[in-house]
Structure 1
């Protein structure tokens, strides 16, 4: 009997220990599943409605540099080379120009000797006229020859400067600082006037160009900031300028945004949000609450039972750290701003900061 009681006690202890370990394991799993998050509340505010339009990142300074004369290409920079304004990009064979310049300089010296002689002769004849020792006609003829010689000197000097300019243009120089994007000819080729040699771009000055409908024009203003979506990034970019006239066939006009401050690359495709109506009341969410994916944009809301709920939204205009959205989001909804990247729909969460109250605001967006 005592042996049975002892066995029973041992079994009871083992069972209680196993139960306790199971509870600890369940609690640990529950804590792992429950994600710690930070939240902020959505708010209501007057903003200007927007339309999302495709755009392209382009280099503001982008030029195909051409030669201004004919010649054999003796040297040219390679793709990717970095240059400053005034640095050489390519060189043409200018030996024939050097010879022409030497010939004109020799002719100038020869004509200068002739002009100096005529000047001395004019001085002698003037003295003879004063003494009535020579005819006036002889003096006039010498004076005429001196004028002609001086004019010839001026013409030769101009011709020499023209050849010097041609020699200078045989070295094609960069009109602005940048990098060689494309090389359009190869060393050794014969090039003609107006033929493009290289494409030079400035990678530090970038614009986003947008073909916007004419209905957007009344709501644009210089330096007005708009949202630009690129992959999983949402950028705030100022309006730099826009075309004063639209295209009659497409009913669009060009808008340019200044994207130089961002690490973008020319040729990228983006979408931009431009204002297209008067200000209306809209729901705003913190910028950090937005989760951007290539095919969708959504926020994570926390319901009254501390469950995460995924809500798809369409992004509108940005105002500082807030962004207007369209979707099933209302003012006062608790939105995850930290810790929401890996949350699953319906997953339990814990809030690690006090609720931030956001009331209805009636501030019109500038």
Structure 2
């Protein structure tokens, strides 16, 4: 019995010793202290210097030759060969034959009309000698110098109203104007270049029967082109004829200078835009090229230009003051695809020139100096919206 009590007592003692020992070890265990490192981000800044910032209107369009004509036939005939092939890319000097149509039928009609006129004039000569002797020498000279193979000369002026009425009564004037009509149509069988240029479209070949009203091709002057651009109506007052325009291709590898040649006086009701035409000349330009135009609209005074990504809620930008970020209010003036012109910044303010992920007011930062790009200066690609 005593042995049983002794065993129970020893067990309780061991349990108590284990409990207090474990508690002591837990209380005196040293935990490793975590070290929190505070990261200070490095930011790039620009110093604000307000001034005149040019507002450039960006627009685009296709090049079209300023002088271009569509060739149509006014007569019917077989397309004959000429000194040059009537093909795309063929160049012609002013007055050179573009194409020639068979005119044998009309040529015979002209000769017939000339014969009729000569017969009528010959028939009135005896009456002129007797009744109007003062007009006879003039008409005799006209008849003697009449050319059957050349252009018909104008009829002599009547010596008096009586002579004029006499000629009208004998059908002289009617025969003459009928002759001039067929001569005019005969001349339409030959189409000449109205200016020095190049054939950009040819729709007929040699030997083809060309019909009246049929389109034959297109002819352009490659020395001068125009770009038609649509500009927001807000900038209509700033579009002036003669204003210099910078043009570039889509790859931005080539640049040309042009001028505003014309401005439409009507605003498109559907798009609320106004059309301007920019004239440009260069040997490397071709009709149909797609170009971007940068038109100088006006200058925004006491303003500064920044990247659009730096604008917060369309009304604020981050600045650095005593190594701490703060938000400054601004007023956007003009937007472009990548930039915005703002007002309201004070000269000397240190604003961010590059976006900082996770930025917030009060954030401690370290300035790395200017980014090397002064976005406050004029940007030739700036565009207003």
Pair in the same fold by TM > 0.5:
yes
1:333–1:256 Cα change, 3 Å: farther
Normalising by structure 2, what TM-score? 0.53
Root-mean-square deviation (Å): 3.8
What's the CA shift for 1:162?
1.7
Query: Counterparts of 1:316 and 1:225 in 2: how far apart (Å)?
Result: 22
Which whole-Å deviations, capped at 9, do the CAs of 1:111-168 have from their partners, x for residues lacking one?
A: 22221233356589xxxxxxxxxxxxxxxxxx99x93687422222222222221111
Quote the offset at 1:333 in angstroms: 5.5
1:59-85: per-residue Cα shift (whole Å, max 9, x none)? Answer: 111221212223332246222221223
Larger fraction in helix: 1
Residue 181, structure 1, aligned to residue 200, structure 2: yes
User: Whole-Å Cα distance in 2 between the matches of residues 314 and 46 of structure 1?
Assistant: 19
Separation in 2, partners of 1:103, 1:165: 15
Quote the residue 2:264 is aligned against.
243
Is the CA contact (8 Å cut-off) linking 1:65 and 1:200 kept in structure 2? yes
In the other structure, the counterpart of 1:46 is 52
Say if 1:45 and 1:260 are closer, same or farther in 2 by CA, change over 3 A. farther
Alignment pair present for 1:274 and 2:283: no
1:140 alignment partner in structure 2: none
User: Which residue of 1 is the match for residue 29 of structure 2?
Assistant: none
- 2:104 pairs with 1:95: yes
Structure 1: runs of 5+ lacking an equivalent: 1-40, 125-142, 285-312, 318-326, 337-358, 362-366
**Does the residue aligned with 1:48 lie in a helix, a strand or coil?**
strand
The residue aligned with 1:79 is 88
Q: How many residues align?
A: 242
* Change in 2 beyond 3 A, CA 1:105/1:65: same
For residues 213 and 77 of structure 1, the distance between their equivalents in structure 2, rounded to whole angstroms, comes to 43
TM (norm. structure 1) is: 0.56
Counterpart of 1:258 in structure 2 is 279
| 8 Å CA contact retained: 1:42, 1:335 | no
Deviations 1:220-269 (CA, angstroms, capped at 9, x unpaired) = 12222233332233444322222111222222222111221463222111
Gapped regions of structure 2 (runs ≥ 5)? 1-46, 134-161, 307-336, 342-351, 355-368, 379-385
Q: 1:65 to 1:45 in 2, by over 3 A?
A: farther
Asked if the contact 2:258–2:281 (Cα under 8 Å) also holds between the matched residues in 1, the reply is no
- Max Rg structure: 2
